[in-house]
Homo-oligomer: A and B are copies of this chain.
């Protein structure tokens, strides 16, 4: 992946910049020692690495504002970073940039049950939000696989989803308000504890904007009352088409499961070898989870059973106990880890219409053969959010690049069948140059003009989201003509 040339002026002024940062910012939130900044050289897309000039870890909105102000004055680019779990390189630093991380923004500010919201600093982890309220019978719905580690800041930046978003929506559907610090340090409030605000929906614009428009330091999140119970069903099929048909029929029938997860044979095999949770070895395994009271669960499972049995499944198994439910989910949740034990893999994140799942799976198989690589599939089938894992060998020269080429072909396929380049991982650096597959130059120009409004000097999260040639052209225009505004 090509990265822009670092700004020679900034690199040349390195010592002066670090000195100015040290003078302006509290010592306990500033890392400049190259041995320590090395810990921030990559996120979860570890194939790309670059340590930043410095790392700032503010503990309050005011400190974030102060950090952005000083970077703005010094003309230093800023890379916002949550917990660094991005699979798309969303928080990869550049050599001429400073990382502002949210890891010390850990306070819960307010919990309000009558109005069903929680207000947190955005460095808290996704899972900890639910942990803060679960004793009172509430939970926070979006649940990315990385929920133990990932920060709310990153969830907002990437509009994260998770297995349960089929029923409860993704981050944008559960975000009520934010405190946003702009590129020049100005602090603004968007949204609130109420329904959508008048005027243009700036809150929705911030959600999923991948650190291009500002740094979100506090967020008001919708919390929901916890359902009484939940129960997963395992359904195994001999071919992907029938599994896809089963998903479509369940959704059409009026049952809205909390989750419909899909695993293919390769994934089942690897997971079973690792966890021995008792999955049937078949071509396509669905985990369908429903929730509610006992009566509600029974009604839904009855309907799912009727649909599934008519499709002649290899296996239909309803969890009979909490232990069985935990085993069923343990397998699914271990899938990425199990795969990682055996192989290096590139985890893709494309989305297709549910009805296009069978065609897409078949074409992915064909593309894998053409590229002579293996692909395992494990994904959120209910909303068509696919996560093909392309297996490669990091010690084999050129193998990662071949995986990337296949990845690009698969993501183009997602767009071709009426889907899009990303479901929940974001564009980051990974899909930056594929944006032309989804958008016309005019579409991208409109998005870039919106970025101009928030970040007129293009100092936030460089080399992400927009194709490098487009953002490079933007930056050289700003350099010659002054800021866009």
Asked if A465 CB lies within 8 Å of chain B CBs, one says: yes
CB contacts under 8 Å to B, within A162-206, are: 169-170, 172-173, 186, 188, 192-202, 204-205
Asked if A236 CB lies within 8 Å of chain B CBs, one says: no
Asked if A419 CB lies within 8 Å of chain B CBs, one says: yes
Instruction: Give the segment of A270-278, A312-320, A338-346, A444-452 that binds chain B.
Output: A444-452
A147 to B482, CA, bound (A): 50
Asked if A260 CB lies within 8 Å of chain B CBs, one says: no
Instruction: Give the segment of A36-44, A63-71, A75-83, A107-115 that binds chain B.
Output: A107-115
**For A193, what are the chain B residues with a Cβ–Cβ distance below 8 Å?**
353, 418
| Pick from B192, B201, B225, B248: contact of A251, CB under 8 Å | B225
> Measured between C-beta atoms, what is the minimum distance from A222 to chain B in Å?
11
A426 to B383, CA, bound (A): 31
Q: Mark A133-154, 1 if CB is under 8 A from B, else 0.
A: 0000100000000000000000
**A113 B426 Cβ-Cβ under 8 A:** no
> Measured between C-beta atoms, what is the minimum distance from A170 to chain B in Å?
7
A114 to B383, CA, bound (A): 11
Asked if A286 CB lies within 8 Å of chain B CBs, one says: no
**B418 A194 Cβ-Cβ under 8 A:** yes
**B423 A195 Cβ-Cβ under 8 A:** yes
Given contacts A446-B202, A450-B453, contact A383 B195 (CB under 8 A): yes
For the A-B complex with A115-B384, A450-B450, A453-B453 known, give 15 more contacts whose Cβ atoms are closer than 8 Å.
A114-B252, A114-B354, A116-B251, A137-B254, A169-B173, A170-B195, A193-B418, A196-B420, A198-B420, A198-B431, A199-B447, A199-B466, A225-B251, A295-B298, A296-B296
